[in-house]
Structure formats: structure tokens, C-alpha cells
Amino acid sequence: MEFELDSMMGFDKLDLYFEAHMAGIDGECFHYSVYFEEGYSDAKLKETETVIEEFAASFDEETYPGYMDVSKNDDKVNIYLDLGNTDPEESDNIIKGILTTLNKVSGIKCVIVNEGCGFDL
């Protein structure tokens, strides 16, 4: 049985300039692997950190958007999202919100969510 995670998560309905795919499921944690057209650079890491910090700050004080961390991982930027202690009704907005926020970062080739977390049935 093959799952269409991109469709199930609504990634195919987002207006993104880059490709975005969901490779697997890892509970309440999401790992966004961000690949760039020109490869990794410290400038792209900083640009990504800035938009993710702005995204996290955009929630009101009563809505916790989860724990987010941006780091370098080999040839890509990694965004870690832990939805623990978030309002379950906000989860979808947060997961997809990170992708739409990344539209502000230039030169992204693709984003793979939970890369390496695939499963076989």
C-alpha cells in the first residue's frame, strides 16, 4: 500500500515556488530538509533562520507554535519542529505555515519533510 502523503497533508495545494514533499511520519516531530539551487551557504542558513524566527513570533501569546530550530546539516538547511504542547487544531497551520514562510527565502530547490522517515507496509 502506498500513501500519498503530499496530498494527505495538503502540500499539493500550497502556492510554493519550490517542490515540497512529505517522505514519512515521525509522530509530533517534523524535520524539514531545505535544498538550494546553488547549494548550501551560510547566507542561506541566516536567511532561513530569520524567516522562521519571524514566523514563530507571528503567533499571539496564547498560541504556542511548537519548538523550532534551524541548523546546517551537510549540504542543506534543516528545520526541526516539535509540536509537543501545541494546540492540535493549530498543527496543520504550523506545519504548512513553515513551508509557505519559506517562500520568502530565495533559491530553494525543494523541501523534503521527514526525509528518511519513510515506511513500508
pLDDT digits (tens, 9 = 90+) for 57-107: 999 988 999 999 999 999 999 999 999 999 999 999 999 999 999 999 999
Contact yes or no for 23/5 (Cβ under 8 A): yes
Crossing angle for the helix pair 42-57 and 91-101, to the nearest 10 degrees? 140
Whether pLDDT at 40 is above 80: yes
pLDDT band of residue 116 (cuts 50, 70, 90) is confident
3-state SS, the chain, equals CCCCHHHHHCHHHCCCCCEEEECCCCCCEEEEEEEECCCCCHHHHHHHHHHHHHHHHCCCCCCCCCEEEEEEECCEEEEEEECCCCCHHHHHHHHHHHHHHHHHCCCEEEEEECCCCCCCC
Q: How far apart are CA 23 and CA 59, in angstroms?
A: 27
Whether pLDDT at 2 is above 60: no
**What's this model's pTM, rounded to 2 decimal places?**
0.92
Q: How far apart are CA 95 and CA 99, in angstroms?
A: 7
Amino acid making up residue 58? S
Residue 121's pLDDT is what? 41
